[in-house]
């Protein structure tokens, strides 16, 4: 199998060329190699290798599409996808004004369990100190 830096490069190339969708699969399961081609690195999954079978939403409502991947290739793809999503999310947040950031935080954390808003007497009512 490819060494880690090369595997990262292959995973990034798979993301850039849209070899797989840019989101996590609906379902996935693993098992022994079946000789299928890895959707990420393009080589056959052979011998004692384990493979993941990945199921994503298809183009038509209710349809699915399947892909196959070496376990290490999937791990590299997943890490690269997470890094891409984080970078895009960070860039989007950095472009917000202070007021938009405050509103985003308010919406994200409004009503979250354990959230205590300042001045909210009902939030701490009935709590006993230990």
Q: Confirm if 8 and 76 have CB atoms less than 8 A apart.
A: yes
Q: How many distinct structural domains can be found in the chain?
A: 1
CA geometry: angle at 19 spanning 42 and 17, to 5°? 105
Predicted pLDDT at 128: 46
For the stretch 38-74, pLDDT in tens is: 999 999 999 999 999 999 999 899 999 999 999 999 9
Predicted pLDDT at 127: 45
Predicted pLDDT at 103: 87
Residue 19 lies in a domain: yes
Residue 118 lies in a domain: no
Q: Dihedral (C-alpha) 6, 11, 13, 18: value to the nearest 10 degrees?
A: 170
Residue 120 lies in a domain: no
For the stretch 93-113, pLDDT in tens is: 888 888 988 888 888 787 666
Cβ neighbours for 41, distance < 8 A, ≥ 6 positions apart:
2, 7, 10, 14, 70, 73
Q: Confirm if 123 and 116 have CB atoms less than 8 A apart.
A: yes
Q: Confirm if 47 and 77 have CB atoms less than 8 A apart.
A: no
**What residue numbers bound the domain in which 29 lies?**
4-107
Residue 75 lies in a domain: yes
Residue 125 lies in a domain: no
Predicted pLDDT at 123: 45
Residue 23 lies in a domain: yes
pLDDT band at 117 (very low <50, low <70, confident <90, very high): low
Tokens of 98: 């202070």
């Amino acid at each position: 199998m490819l060494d880690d830096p090369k595997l990262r490069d292959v995973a990034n190339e798979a993301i850039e060329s849209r070899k797989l969708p840019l989101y996590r699969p609906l379902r996935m399961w693993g098992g022994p190699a079946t000789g299928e081609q890895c959707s990420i690195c393009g080589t056959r999954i052979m011998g004692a290798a384990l493979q993941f079978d990945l199921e994503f939403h298809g183009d038509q409502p209710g349809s699915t599409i399947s892909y196959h991947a070496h376990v290490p290739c999937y791990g590299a793809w997943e890490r690269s996808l997470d890094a891409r999503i984080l970078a895009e999310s960070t860039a989007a947040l950095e472009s917000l004004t202070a007021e938009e950031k405050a509103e985003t935080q308010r919406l994200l954390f409004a009503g979250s369990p354990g959230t205590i808003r300042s001045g909210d007497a009902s939030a701490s009512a009935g709590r006993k100190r230990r």
